[in-house]
Amino acid sequence: MEQKLLEEAFTLKDQIISDRRYLHTHAETGFDLKDTTAYVKEQLVKMGYEPKPCGRSGLTVLAGGKKPGKVFMLRADMDALPILEEADVDFQSPTGKMHACGHDMHAAMLLGAARLLKQHENEIEGTIKLDFQPAEEIFKGSHDMIDAGLLKNPDVDAALMIHVMTNMPMTPGTVIVCDGGVSAPACDFFTIKIQGKGCHGSMPNTGIDPVNIAAHTIIALQELSARELAIMDEAVLTVGTIHAGNAANVIPDTVELTGSIRTYDEEIRDYIKTRMTEIAKGVAETFRGSAEVSFGNGCPTLLNDNALSADAAKYVKELLGPEKAFTAGQLNALSEGGKPAKTSGSEDFAYVSQEVPSIMLALASGQPDQGYCYPQHHPKAKFDESVLPSGSAVYAYTAMRWLQEHK
């Protein structure tokens, strides 16, 4: 089955690339995916599926179901980023938004998998649910779809997502199968509003300078990882924006800081949020101001199921050959000093992984020496489209094999 499925996937290469380029040139963000969702729905209907809306702008379809068995879910996100594209491609996005994280690749690969599964529907020993998800970049889409019944009717037994990764050292099309356990950190967004007292820039003594408070706050927050966390307690705290004032000779009333926290452990996650609030308020009070700290939407840690991780590694080797299946250990060997190569990027598929056994696979999609030298989320990021058929085949084959082995 594996050889036939892979060959069929490559016969669909032009169609998968066409799907990807349509989605790329119609890049949309968040839940506002009018063109994206309409296109995906149209393609699924043409294949003979009956897509169902799920949540604010997600879609699901069912493949198989003609034989009794369990339910395996395949997920692809569809949203872009608010980035003006600068990539050297002849299909740049004209929307002012960009698929700089490769979600257009994910959705196109899942459409390709849908085509493969339709051709093999009578062979599916159970049901495969396809999940086309919005709003991953703002960590709201997965939760929204779960609340709308994503994992019900029929109840999902296991789930898989694939994430393309550009600027990678290994051959394009190589699949990285991470070990069981935490594979992506939790993420929390924060806002710190600092209240001072505005005044003339030449008379700071008559006011309370919130810019000065903000500067001290940013430095103080970095001491959390430097002096309050143990050496094995990995965490990253980033202040991403600073908004203050409108004139060079005016001390403003307020400053707003926003940023994110990434953690691999729930206790550390809670500790940092508690201490951030204490530090921000304490620093502000020291300089006669005040501060309010709030935490917005984020996501928990993404958990790779141990058994599903072992299954996925076996299936990828069967399908693509052992040379195209990278283990976490092999990836670590390529990293500086052989250090563990965990991803520090968060993924809202984490919400699914907290509910059912799940696995996140990474698909190498461009080497630096072949022109893919910019990372995800960069305005010049590019992805190697030659990997798309392999991604579609991995989606379809993994689901079919898992259902075959877990009746």
Per-domain boundaries in the chain? 2-182+301-405, 186-295
pLDDT, tens only, 71-95 = 999 999 999 999 999 999 999 999 9
Domains 2-182+301-405 and 186-295 share a fold: no
| Model pLDDT, residue 2 | 83
pLDDT for position 332: 65
CATH number of 2-182+301-405: 3.40.630.10
Query: Cα–Cα distance between 173 and 162 in angstroms, integer?
Result: 12
Integer Cα distance of 295 and 192 in angstroms: 9
233 vs 236: CA distance, rounded Å: 10
- List, in sequence order, the alpha helices (H) in 26-125: 34-47, 103-119
pLDDT band at 343, cuts 50/70/90?
low
Q: Could you check whether the bond before residue 322 is cis, i.e. omega within 30 degrees of 0? A: no
Q: What is the pLDDT of residue 401?
A: 98
Where does the pLDDT of residue 178 fall: very low under 50, low under 70, confident under 90, or very high at 90 and above? confident
Tally DSSP H helices, then E strands, for the chain: 11, 16
How far, in Å, CA of 54 to CA of 285, rounded? 47
User: DSSP letters of 199-249?
Assistant: EETT-GGGSB-HHHHHHHHHHHHHHIIIIIS-TT--EEEEEEEEEE-S-TT
The predicted structure's pLDDT at residue 330: 73
**Residue range 123-137, pLDDT digits in tens:** 999 999 999 999 999
Instruction: Give residue 99's pLDDT band: very low, low, confident or very high (50, 70, 90).
Output: very high
- Count the neighbouring beta carbons within 10 Å of the beta carbon of residue 215: 14
The CATH number given to 186-295 is 3.30.70.360
Distances (CA, A) of 258 to 48, 190, 343, 362: 46, 6, 22, 29
pLDDT of residue 298: 86
pLDDT at 277: 98
Q: Return d(Cα 345, Cα 170) in angstroms, integer.
A: 19
DSSP state of 320: H
Please check the confidence at residue 60 and state whether its pLDDT lies above 90.
yes
Tell me the pLDDT band of 335, cut-offs 50, 70 and 90. low
Among left, alpha and beta (phi > 0; psi -120 to 50; other), residue 27 is beta
> 153: pLDDT confidence band, cut at 50, 70 and 90?
very high
Per-residue pLDDT at 337: 54
Report pLDDT for 327. 79
Mean pLDDT (whole number) for 173-184: 92
Write down the pLDDT at residue 45.
98
In this predicted structure, the answer to whether residue 268 has a pLDDT above a threshold of 90 is: yes
User: Rounded to whole angstroms, how far apart are CA atoms 160 and 399?
Assistant: 8
